[in-house]
């Protein structure tokens, strides 16, 4: 994690509320908060949870350093509160689903327990980290789903929102990408790095063929030549073929060509035919230029012989749905359950500490999820969150609990997962989600229900509010 001093990476009201709790003598009250999201992005059927590893590193480094306290002093914070912050460390607990887990709306996929100040003060950085990482991992998962067995690589750093490009590169691999052009992300998270060349390289030479030859001379076993600077089929591909043949004579092979403009399906077919006719069946075709899951699916449906997709802007900006609406809501205070009431029933939160139980079909695929109070037995029936008469019997189904204790009284209980571990877990879990939940058009809604005790507690608190 690049952010080694995360304490001020927050909204002001987190600190003013923390000071208010402290000054009113309430800072040692215990509290629990739930992290969840209300709606699925991209009109999809699931979310890939990501960002947990980064959040654990944030908790590890969460301190208020002298220069930060001095800044808060200049902003009018009181000395007694600053003295409290001087020795502040997170000593609470965190329960979370695994990074890479497939999750659904309104599930408490992460819970923070501790004093009210400890739990409150993490809110902004937690939301910032988990919302963005989960959004990009989900977008990457959809793109990889469209690409199937074809390789996909993150090319998005130049279009990313500042240093968010680092988190986007990491999240894209969790979602299923094979690598990134982002060198720093490669170093930090041991992600394979990939790249080709820019048009400027070719333009800087007197002619395209010389540009290709020079590049191949320096990189004889890893060259991918960009063939659309001048004329893809009249110059670019023929010149690439010449260089490929010259490499063969020297005992090397051209890795591929890249298409970055025009009708990608047409140019890919023509390029493939030209290279095959030249005996270069092994040379791969890479494509880039404003790709997303829908365009990739269209290209492959047209039979475009593309081997690798470089995806940039529409991945790292989550172009068509640029924010996950994750929220962080208080569920208990001083051991007493609480909830937020809204005129919109779907915005009424779930009270108290809870667990998520995942139920499985006989073939091992996901059937439904249940949300229950943390201290109750796993329910035999789960109820629709809003429609009273709808319920599902789950007593005969195999099940597992999804929340795990990842921080216990300030001690991080797990090694933060590597990108590769989270990616493999996401791939395995996504394979258990039935296809009707993964389709791009009108995906089937995955069942998430409440236990009878949780539902009754919610109704009781609403009536007594």
Domain CATH for 200: 3.20.20.70
Q: What pLDDT does 2 receive? A: 60
Residue 115 placed within a domain? yes
Q: Which of 316, 351, 367 lies at the terminal end of a domain, its last residue?
A: 316
* Residues 312 and 325 occupy one common structural domain: no
* Residues 161 and 122 occupy one common structural domain: no
* Residues 116 and 211 occupy one common structural domain: no
In terms of Cα–Cα distance, which of 361, 365, 358 is closest to 379? 358
| Predicted model pTM | 0.96
Residue 156 placed within a domain? yes
* Residues 274 and 173 occupy one common structural domain: yes
Could you say which residues of the chain have pLDDT below 70? Answer: 1-2
Regarding beta strands 102-103 and 224-226, do their DSSP bridges make them parallel or antiparallel, or are they unpaired? Answer: unpaired
* Residues 160 and 308 occupy one common structural domain: yes
**How many domains, in total, are found in the chain?**
2
151: left (phi over 0), alpha (psi -120 to 50) or beta: beta
For 375, the domain range is: 12-136+321-464
- Contact status, residue 124 vs residue 277, Cβ threshold 8 Å: no
For the domain that residue 39 is a member of, what is the CATH number? 3.20.140.10
Q: What pLDDT does 190 receive? A: 95
CA end-to-end distance (rounded Å), the chain: 42
Residue 175 placed within a domain? yes
Residue 141 placed within a domain? no
* Residues 185 and 70 occupy one common structural domain: no
Q: Which of 283, 298, 316 lies at the terminal end of a domain, its last residue?
A: 316
- Contact status, residue 354 vs residue 57, Cβ threshold 8 Å: no
Residue 7 placed within a domain? no
Q: What pLDDT does 345 receive? A: 81
Q: What pLDDT does 275 receive? A: 98
Residue 245 placed within a domain? yes
* Residues 312 and 329 occupy one common structural domain: no
* Residues 152 and 250 occupy one common structural domain: yes
Q: What pLDDT does 17 receive? A: 98
* Residues 163 and 237 occupy one common structural domain: yes
* Residues 299 and 171 occupy one common structural domain: yes
In terms of Cα–Cα distance, which of 116, 122, 96, 20 is closest to 335? 116
Question: Residue 374: what are its φ and ψ, rounded to 5°?
Answer: -65, -30
What DSSP letter does each residue of 391-417 carry, written as one string?
EEE-TTSEEEE--EEEEETTEE-SPPP
Distances in Å between the Cα of 341 and the Cα atoms of 3, 345, 346, 454, 457 are 36, 8, 10, 15, 13
* Residues 105 and 253 occupy one common structural domain: no
User: What count of other Cβ atoms lies within 10 Å of the Cβ of residue 461?
Assistant: 19
Three-state secondary-structure class, residue 218: helix
Residue 80 placed within a domain? yes
Residue 5 placed within a domain? no
Q: Which of 259, 290, 316 lies at the terminal end of a domain, its last residue?
A: 316
* Residues 165 and 193 occupy one common structural domain: yes
């Amino acid at each position: 994690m690049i952010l080694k001093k995360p304490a001020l990476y927050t909204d002001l009201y987190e600190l003013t509320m923390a000071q208010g709790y402290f000054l009113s003598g309430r800072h040692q009250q215990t509290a629990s908060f739930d992290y969840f999201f209300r709606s699925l992005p991209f009109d999809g059927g699931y979310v890939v949870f990501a960002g947990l590893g980064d959040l654990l590193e944030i908790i590890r480094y969460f301190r208020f350093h002298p220069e930060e306290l001095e800044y808060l002093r200049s902003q009018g914070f009181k000395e007694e509160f600053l003295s409290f912050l001087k020795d502040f460390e997170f000593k609470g607990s965190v329960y979370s689903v695994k990074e890479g887990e497939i999750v659904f709306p309104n599930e408490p996929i992460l819970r923070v327990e501790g004093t009210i100040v400890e739990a409150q003060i993490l809110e902004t950085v937690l939301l910032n980290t988990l919302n963005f990482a989960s959004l990009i991992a989900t977008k990457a998962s959809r793109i990889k789903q469209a690409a199937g067995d074809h390789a996909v690589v993150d090319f998005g750093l130049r279009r990313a929102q500042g240093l968010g490009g680092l988190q986007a590169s990491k999240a894209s691999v969790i979602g299923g990408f094979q690598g990134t052009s982002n060198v720093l992300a490669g170093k930090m998270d041991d992600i394979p790095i990939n790249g080709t060349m820019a048009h400027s390289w070719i333009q800087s030479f007197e002619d395209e063929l010389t540009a290709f030859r020079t590049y191949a001379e320096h990189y004889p076993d890893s060259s991918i030549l960009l063939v659309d600077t001048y004329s893809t089929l009249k110059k670019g591909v023929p010149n690439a073929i010449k260089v490929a043949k010259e490499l063969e004579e020297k005992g090397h092979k051209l890795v591929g060509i890249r298409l970055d403009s025009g009708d990608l399906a047409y140019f890919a077919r023509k390029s493939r035919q030209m290279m095959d006719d030249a005996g270069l069946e092994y040379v791969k075709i890479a494509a880039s230029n404003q790709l997303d899951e829908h365009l990739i699916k269209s290209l492959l449906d047209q039979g475009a012989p593309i081997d690798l997709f470089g995806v940039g802007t529409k991945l790292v900006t989550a172009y068509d749905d640029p924010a996950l609406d994750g929220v962080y809501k208080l569920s208990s205070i001083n051991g007493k359950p609480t909830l937020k009431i809204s005129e919109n029933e779907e915005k009424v939160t779930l009270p108290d500490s809870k667990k998520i139980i995942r139920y499985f079909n006989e073939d091992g695929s996901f059937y439904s999820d249940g949300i229950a109070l943390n201290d109750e037995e796993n329910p035999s029936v789960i109820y629709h969150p809003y429609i009273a008469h709808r319920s599902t019997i789950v007593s005969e189904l195999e099940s597992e609990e999804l929340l795990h204790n990842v921080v216990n009284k300030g001690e991080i209980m797990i090694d933060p997962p590597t990108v590769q571990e989270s990616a493999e877990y996401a791939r395995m879990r996504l394979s258990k989600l039935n296809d009707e939940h993964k389709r791009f058009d009108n995906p089937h809604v995955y069942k998430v229900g409440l236990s009878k005790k949780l539902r009754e507690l919610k109704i009781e608190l609403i009536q007594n509010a």
